[in-house]
Every structure is written in structure tokens, then in C-alpha cells.
Amino acid sequence: MRSFSLPLPTLLSGFVAVLVGYASSAAIIWQAAVAAGASTTQIAGWMTTLGIAMGVSTLLLTLWYRAPVLTAWSTPGAALLVTGLQGLTLPEAIGVFIIANALIVLCGVTGLFARLMQVIPHSLAAAMLAGILLRFGLEAFARLGDQFLLCGGMLLAWLVMKRIAPRYAVIAALIAGAVIALFEGDIVTSSFAMTPVLPTFIAPQFSLAHALGIAVPLFLVTMASQNAPGVATMKAAGYDVPVSPLIIVTGLLALLFSPFGVYSICIAAITAAICQSPDAHPDAAKRWLAAAAAGMFYLLAGIFGSSITGMMAALPTSGIQMLAGLALLGTISGSLYQALNHENERDAAVVTFLVTASGLTLWGVGSAFWGLIAGGICYTVLRLARRA
């Protein structure tokens, strides 16, 4: 039986991957849970279950394939839920999670993942994502007027670190925000606790309007903006792992834990690249150790999910909005670039972007779905016109 040492850089790579993932998007998940009407205790339970689910899936896939397979929650999916869950009850939100995760499992079992990505033009999927995320960027910079010291300080810390060490820019903004809020006396510590919080089971309620308006866009965003880049990142790093089993395992775990607040578990891209780089281990065959370390740190983060939730609740709302906006800047700019990169698809992509960003709701179905429909109609009509 072979034994593997765990060098400090490998261990740190796993730790940094988890830290970056939590620091860059925990605030967005907190906002999504609040939108669904979850209490601080319930949100802590959600964070506990998410951490455990990501830890189990990362360890299971990494140890099975001896490859650095890192899983994550869907940050764009959480961003969609911030607006999509407004006005829903918690049981209705759980119903949305179950439908979206069931569709992901179906994609993995049937092998429809690659074919589905071919049916939906990538430019339209990117435009829909950009429209969903637009409000986060707008909210972040809109708070500069009334919270200039806090938001401006976070922006400055992010900018300086972006120049020096881009990987830690969001973490620097989080630290700067916490220090400034503490200096101004805006930190609320009454909800901060280190004791583990057990997740609670919530019976789901299902609705066709919510399925079409929220669950289907959540499914599409997770597949197109998380699973597809995650698989591409892994292949680019030289790890040819079968795709369908990855989708099935992550989808089944998310489906199993959906009643406890797990809205998605998917293949990581940005944080996975940390564990797949030569910095994690000079030997590519041993970089799976960094992902395994990340899986253990995920489990620890899950056990202490209440402290992460308490930290988010302790920060002022403007600080959380700025942190979320800065964390999503790269995704917003990348989505806009992909949406507008092809001249022949640009008009359809702009229609998708504007309809999605408008917040349009028809028959109880949200704007993300209608943006994709409107853009798809434009794309088809203009393509037929060019052929004629």
C-alpha cells in the first residue's frame, strides 16, 4: 500500500481553496436564505449542511479517481436565488431546490449534459447570467454614497490586493470591511457563536410557476456556469475524469440534502484550479492530496457553519453587498464578454441580458426564464434571416 506525504504547500492549497470559496460567496448565500425568510439559526443549518455535502462529495470523488476533483456550491445560482426567492416561503424554496437538483441528476444519468449545452447558445446563457448578476454590481457601488468609508475602504483593499495577489483580493476586502465596521461600531456580535447548529428538515412545496421561473434557471445556471467550467478546468489541467459520474454524484448528494437547505453541489472551477496548479504539488499525480485536504476543511467549515453565518449577520448590510459585488465582478465581466463576443449572436444576447436584468415577471415566472425565451426567439429568427 502506497503512502503519501502531505507537504505544507499542498495543505495550504486546500485551505486557501475553501477560504476563497467561502469568502467570495458565503455573503451571497446568506442573502439568498434571507430572501426566502430563513432565520439566522436556519441559515446556520444551511451552511452546516452545505459544508458537509461539499466535504463528502470532494473526498468521495477525489479519493475514488485519485484526481483533484473539488466541488462547490453554485455562486451564480445563489445570486439568482437572492431575487428568485423573494416572496416565497421556505417550503416553496425547498421545492425549487429539489426540482433543480433532480434535473441535474437526470442530466447525469441520461448523458444529456453535453447535448443540452449545445442546444442553448453559450452567448445566451452568459447573457442570462450577466443579467442576473447585474444588480449585485449596482448595489455594491450604490452604497458608496451613504457608506463611503466602509465601502470605499473595501474597494481600496480589493484594488490594492488585486494588483499584488489577485487570488486574495476578496479576502482582503472582507478583512478591511470587518476592521472598518468594528472601528465604526457597526459590528453586531449577538448572533455570533462557535457552537455547531444542526440543520432542520423542511418539507417541500411544489409549484409549476416556481419550477419554470426559478428551478429551471437555477438548473441551467448551475450546469452552464459551474459544472461546464469546472469540467473544462479539470480537463485543461490534464485530468480526464468521466463527466457523467461527477454530475450524478454531486446531483444526488444535493438532492438528498435539499430539504436541509442544499440548493446545489457542483464541480468547482476557480477554487479547483488552486488545487490543480503546480503550487499545490510539483507532481501532478499527487495534487489530489490538495483536494482531499480541501474536503477535510469543507467538513470543518460545515461543523462550524453557525460561526460563518454569525459573521455574515454581524457585518452591516452595505458591507455584505459590497463584498458580494466585488466577488462577482470577474463573473459579470466574463459573462458580458462571452455574451457579446460573437457579432452574429450579439443582438439576441443583449435582448436576453436586458429582459433578465429588468426583473420582468409574467404569470409568476421570473425574468431569467423569459430572458432566455426572448433571446432564444431573437437568436432563431435572426439566424433564419441570415440563412435566407
Q: Where do the domains of the chain lie?
A: 8-335
User: Exposed, middle or buried, 296 (CB in 10 Å: 0-12/13-18/19+)?
Assistant: middle
Angle in degrees, 0-180, between the axes of helices 169-184 and 8-35, rounded to the nearest 10? 60
Taking the C-alpha atoms of residue 94 and residue 275, their distance in angstroms, rounded to an integer, is 32
In Å, what is the CA distance from 260 to each residue of 203, 219, 254? 9, 18, 10
Task: Please name the residue that has the C-alpha cell 480537463.
Answer: 235
User: For every one of its 388 residues, what pLDDT tens digit does the chain have, with 9 covering 90 and above?
Assistant: 444 567 777 887 788 778 777 766 777 888 888 888 888 788 888 888 999 999 999 999 999 999 999 999 988 888 889 888 888 889 999 999 999 999 999 988 888 776 665 577 778 877 877 887 787 788 888 878 778 888 889 899 989 988 887 767 777 887 888 888 888 776 655 555 556 677 889 999 998 888 888 898 899 888 877 887 778 778 767 788 888 899 999 999 999 999 998 999 999 876 787 788 777 788 888 889 999 999 998 998 888 766 665 565 566 777 777 877 776 777 688 778 888 888 888 899 999 899 988 878 776 556 777 888 888 899 888 888 877 7
Which residues, other chains included, contact 267 with Cβ-Cβ below 8 Å and sequence gap of 6+?
69, 70, 71, 72, 226, 227, 230, 231, 234, 246, 247, 250
Taking the C-alpha atoms of residue 353 and residue 195, their distance in angstroms, rounded to an integer, is 43
Which residues, other chains included, contact 113 with Cβ-Cβ below 8 Å and sequence gap of 6+?
107, 223, 227, 243, 244, 247
355, three cell numbers:
429582459
Which residues, other chains included, contact 196 with Cβ-Cβ below 8 Å and sequence gap of 6+?
48, 303, 304, 305, 306
Taking the C-alpha atoms of residue 86 and residue 56, their distance in angstroms, rounded to an integer, is 30
Going by C-alpha positions, the residue among 214, 327, 225 that lies closest to residue 266 is: 225
Going by C-alpha positions, the residue among 219, 204, 227, 221 that lies closest to residue 100 is: 219
Task: Please name the residue that has the C-alpha cell 432563431.
Answer: 380
Task: Please name the residue that has the C-alpha cell 433543480.
Answer: 100
CB-side exposure of 49: number of CA atoms within 13 Å? 25
Residue type at position 344: N
**Number of neighbours of residue 346 by Cβ within 10 angstroms:** 15
**Strand ranges in 66-201 using DSSP code E only, listed in sequence order:** 71-72
Report, in angstroms and rounded to the nearest whole number, the Rg of the chain calculated over CA atoms: 20
